[in-house]
Amino acid sequence: MQIIKRNGAEEPFRIEKIIHAVEKANATVEDALRLTEKQIRRIADAVVISCEELGRTPTVEEIQDLVENHIMAHGAFEVAKNYITYRYTRSLIRKSNTTDDRILSLIECNNEEAKQENSNKNPVVNSTQRDYIAGEVSRDITNRILLPQDIVDAHNEGIIHFHDSDYYAQHMHNCDLVNLEDMLQNGTVITGTLIERPHSFSTACNIATQIIAQVASNQYGGQSISLAHLAPFVQVSREKIRKAVAEEMAAVGASVSDEMIEAIAETRLKEEIRRGVQTIQYQVVTLLTTNGQAPFVTVFMYLGEAKNEQEKHDLAMIIREVLEQRIQGVKNEKGVWVTPAFPKLIYVLEEDNIREGSPYWDLTRLAAKCTARRMVPDYISEKKMLELKGDVYACMGCRSFLTPDRFTDAGVGNIANAGNYEPGKHKYYGRFNQGVVTISLPDVALSSGGDMDLFWKIFDERLELCYRALMCRHERLKGTLSDAAPILWQYGACARLKKGEPIDRLLYDGYSTISLGYAGLYECVKYMTGKSHTDPEATPFALQVMQHMNDACKAWKARHNIDFSLYGTPLESTTYKFAKCLQRRFGVIPGITDKGYITNSYHVHVTEKINAFDKLAFEAQFQALSPGGAISYVEVPDLQGNLDAVLEVMKYIYDHILYAELNTKSDYCQVCGYDGEISIVEEDGKLKWKCPRCGNTDQDKMNVARRTCGYIGTQYWNQGRTQEIRERVLHL
């Protein structure tokens, strides 16, 4: 068995350390109050059993808590008191160098928490280490100086999660919907260089990747671009190529018809589209931002954004090429085609593509093939989004959605000075999210002890805590000058403000959002009602909990004219943190805290048997109550030979739910060439990835792709998330 030290590093569990610590405390009390050697051994053995029951690697603090509990269980209260005093004294000494220890463990690459914090960051790479080291210093400043102590304490205890505290010291925001159209059509500036309107599709794609990289280095969340903003440059290239072909024919004295020139031009145009899309695919995969990872970018594919039929046709050509290249994948270091994590793809299901015989049905079949092979694209229903939001637009990354535009109708005007602003037309590109704070719903329930009146009282107290934490986020952004991130605030990604101009105007009137996240609705409802939230008797309570959070957001919005919005948090490392905190605070409660993870947002528990269509129908009602962002998924087997099943799910998504995805597996063992599912096995009390053919467990010699939080992860996950992945049941 392993343990996690305070600096995040792992080391083997040694029972003699427990025995020695208890013996030292034992020696400080009178003979009559001392434990016997046999009792000390029993205490140590009981701690070992308790650690094994956790089903994950325990931390040093958890082990020490268990030691205290078992000493007191033996009635040795004086020994326990002295043991606690010793712990407290040692903690005071450690406080002076905790940050130093964590930084040193990062440099030496033995910080297990950092290794598994982000499934798309490689912690041994220098750029990632620099980001993590800077993050540790920033987090230390944030916790000691910038945030109120009760918010820091609540975060540390797992009552709330103050997201991305390592970026809080800087004036940075969460995620955005890049106004690529304005930047391409009206020009932009990248690192002091003027970039004018491109004169070809391939150049537009190249500029887009540079914009993506710059944006990613100036914020800490996801970003989205739309292929519709690249579509006009297909016609630019078409005209340029057509002219070149005509000149070539004339130069050699060839007499060819306009139709022949057109055919040659279209062939060359398709090749240019292929090169342009390839630029986006490979640049995004190979770029490393200042955050030490590939840009977390989403590509939005919506035919309805085209301004005319020719542009729609050209957009369809781009989408087709994107899908075909993603089906192929990218080559790993062994030259084998594998599944990349980014860019994430979203395909909008609409009347023009959802049914056989519709004009773009062939694109939808291609999307189904891509999903079956590479897990993307994900799907947004135009029909349901129009019902729920009144407009169709991309999310900002994996699931964070802007609120519907209200500032345009209110006559606020072009406060971002966007070059493509159209009076009276709703605006989404160029908008952003200020930040996220997540409430742990299971902690609210467990803190109430099951008393329903107390539950609502504690719930309101915790929501007030979240509100104050979110206002800290907001206040931190206030006063930020456009000079802090020129690509965002001066050169079009979010705005075109003047140098030295504060961004404050963009924080109000719904131009940007700020998100109240939530996690563990299933566990909350299960504890309070004794039933899963899928049970008809428990569902009303689950919906009531959701509505209560929406009501809080509405009240905060009215108070400040800021668009607070409820957000289904994509727990990655936080699922493990919350689970550990619940176990530490309330012990191991069967069905509630007995796992190394808690459930993402409103999702049906991963172990609950339910078919794909029932799951989507059930979760749709919770998506409607998560206006700040939510995504549902169904877990499916390999469907590459059964595209009809994929298409049936897609049609169901169109009619029933706003945003959903299909999860499958895409793995490869570099040792033996196995390309089936890499297994998760338990060895020495720890979950490991293992090739079922050759037994390879070296994570550096395998490619594993799993969707965890709305996006695909291709590094590896903490023990809690790995357990959650292992326990997923199929829905189809």
Q: Which of 347, 342, 355, 419 is nearest to 377 (CA)?
A: 347
Which is catalytic among the residues 398, 472, 546, 669?
A: 398
DSSP string, 292-317: SB---EEEEE-GGG-SSHHHHHHHHH
110 is catalytic: no
User: Within a 10 A sphere around the Cβ of 186, how many other Cβ atoms?
Assistant: 16
Beta-ladder partners of 678: none
524 is catalytic: no
Q: Is 23 helix (H, G, I), strand (E, B) or coil?
A: helix
711 is catalytic: no
Q: Which of 129, 91, 131, 130 is nearest to 110 (CA)?
A: 129
283 — phi, psi (to 5°)?
A: -65, -45
329 is catalytic: no
Q: Which of 131, 105, 134 is nearest to 118 (CA)?
A: 131
How many whole angstroms from its chain centre is CA 238? 38
Which is catalytic among the residues 400, 550, 600, 663?
A: 400
Residue 145 has what DSSP assignment? I
Which is catalytic among the residues 435, 520, 710, 713?
A: 710
Which is catalytic among the residues 174, 237, 512, 573?
A: 174
Q: Which of 460, 451, 346 is nearest to 399 (CA)?
A: 346
Which is catalytic among the residues 136, 572, 635, 661?
A: 572
Which is catalytic among the residues 375, 385, 396, 553?
A: 396
**R_g (Cα) of the chain, nearest Å:** 27
Which is catalytic among the residues 55, 117, 172, 175?
A: 175
To the nearest 10°, the Cα dihedral for 58, 61, 63, 67? -170
710 is catalytic: yes
395 is catalytic: no
- Amino acid at the residue 468: R
Q: How far apart are CA 55 and CA 53, in angstroms?
A: 5
Which is catalytic among the residues 179, 433, 448, 626?
A: 433
Which is catalytic among the residues 302, 522, 567, 633?
A: 567
* Cβ neighbours for 626, distance < 8 A, ≥ 6 positions apart: 546, 566, 567, 568, 601, 602
Extract the tokens encoding 644.
């009809």
Q: How far apart are CA 416 and CA 166, in angstroms?
A: 28
567 is catalytic: yes
Q: How far apart are CA 497 and CA 511, in angstroms?
A: 15
Q: Would you say the C-alpha torsion 478, 480, 482, 487 has a positive or negative sign?
A: negative
Q: How far apart are CA 683 and CA 152, in angstroms?
A: 36
Q: Which residues are catalytic?
A: 174-175, 396, 398, 400, 433, 567, 572, 710
